[in-house]
Amino acid sequence: MNIGLGTEITGCWGAMHSESIGHIVEIDKSGFGKSFKIKWEDGGRTDWIMEKEIRDDYFDVDTANIGYFAVDTDRAWDWVDDGYS
């Protein structure tokens, strides 16, 4: 997973809460690993999260979709059989 400045992050909080969309605006490589500052689109709130907290299985129907996701739009349609493969 390639995460950098501008990467879109989706925050999924459970069935009773809407998803949040944000982007990475700052990277900190000090301490115990990379951490990323996320600026959320809903009001400009920010959060710092560790790299290990970011998942890449947003489109996997076999996993619980609660957490922080780096949404890889190139994988979004991998499950579709277009009949040409």
pLDDT (tens digit, 9 = 90+) per residue, 14-68? 888 888 999 999 999 987 889 999 999 987 799 999 999 999 888 777 877 889 9
On whether the CB atoms of residues 45 and 23 are closer than 8 A, the answer is no
Q: Is residue 53 part of a domain?
A: yes
Q: Is residue 70 part of a domain?
A: yes
Q: Is residue 16 part of a domain?
A: yes
Q: Is residue 82 part of a domain?
A: no
Instruction: Identify which has the larger pLDDT, 77 or 4.
Output: 4
Q: Is residue 44 part of a domain?
A: yes
- Provide the domain limits for residue 21: 8-74
- Counting the structural domains of the chain, the total is 1
On whether the CB atoms of residues 70 and 54 are closer than 8 A, the answer is yes
Q: Is residue 84 part of a domain?
A: no
Q: Is residue 29 part of a domain?
A: yes
Question: Rounded CA gap, 11 and 44, in Å?
Answer: 14
Q: Is residue 1 part of a domain?
A: no
Between the alpha carbon of residue 28 and those of residues 33, 63, 70, 77, the distances in Å are 8, 29, 17, 32
Task: State residue 65's pLDDT score.
Answer: 81
Kindly state the tokens that stand for 47. 């959060």
